[in-house]
Amino acid sequence: MANLLRDRRTAADWATVGQVIEIAEKLSGFERLASVVEADLAALESDMIPAHWRDSLIVGRLEFGFADDKQQLPMVRCEATVTTDAVCQRCLEAFRLPLEVEARLLLLELEQTAEGYDDLEVWELEDKDLRPQDIVEELLIMALPFSAKHVDSASCKALYSEPREREEKTKPFAALRAQMTQDH
Ligand SMILES: [Zn+2]
């Protein structure tokens, strides 16, 4: 069966049939996202790179429709989650980074505008045809943190191995308090 995620049709075509696409794909099928993750993991020694990072499962759903009653403005609801591998910028070890995106996008052509849809984000269509995967992929890439860090700080060696030393070095609240006293 053809994978609808990789089909190309106009936004109006997707919207007219109210296309719903269930997503359950390995990260390896999302080439741009995979190349971003790969570049991040390249900071690790090769034997430290998680063996199956390309197999992380992207799960979600796309639902096309129209934003307006006249069926002039195509839109799509997109939800997707993946737990990918990333390098913690604090301890420089690999960890599992959960990503979640949820968006309602108004699919507009370049230069096109629409008033009164402030609850939707505008998605500019660069080509006549739209490939649903590109939307999911770009949303996930945008959701990647600029500087990834262990979500659970107890797992982060940089924080956990020498807690006392760290505490001596950084006392953000003490510094803040000192500054506030000065201001008064
Ligand atoms: Zn860490």
Residues 73 and 133 reside in one and the same domain: yes
State pLDDT tens for residues 30-67: 999 999 999 999 999 999 999 999 999 999 999 999 99
Residues 97 and 158 reside in one and the same domain: no
Residues 65 and 128 reside in one and the same domain: yes
Q: Go through 18-53 and write b for each residue having 16 or more CB atoms within 10 A of its CB, e for each that does not.
A: ebebebebebebbeebbebbeebbeeeeeeeebeeb
Residues 70 and 136 reside in one and the same domain: yes
Q: Distance from the CA of 158 to the center of ligand 1, in angstroms?
A: 6
Q: Distance from the CA of 182 to the center of ligand 1, in angstroms?
A: 35
**In this predicted structure, what is the pLDDT of residue 181?**
64
Domain that holds residue 137: 4-151
Q: Distance from the CA of 170 to the center of ligand 1, in angstroms?
A: 17
Residues 43 and 130 reside in one and the same domain: yes
Residues 127 and 176 reside in one and the same domain: no
State pLDDT tens for residues 155-164: 998 886 655 5
For helices 132-143 and 31-41, the axis angle rounded to 10 degrees is 20
Residues 83 and 50 reside in one and the same domain: yes
Determine the 3-state secondary structure of 107 from DSSP: strand
Q: Distance from the CA of 156 to the center of ligand 1, in angstroms?
A: 4
Residues 167 and 108 reside in one and the same domain: no
Q: Distance from the CA of 148 to the center of ligand 1, in angstroms?
A: 9
- Residue keyed to tokens 């006293």: 181
Per the structure block, which two tokens stand in for 98? 């959960």
Residues 182 and 138 reside in one and the same domain: no
Domain count, the chain: 2
- pTM greater than the 0.75 cutoff: yes
Q: Distance from the CA of 83 to the center of ligand 1, in angstroms?
A: 16
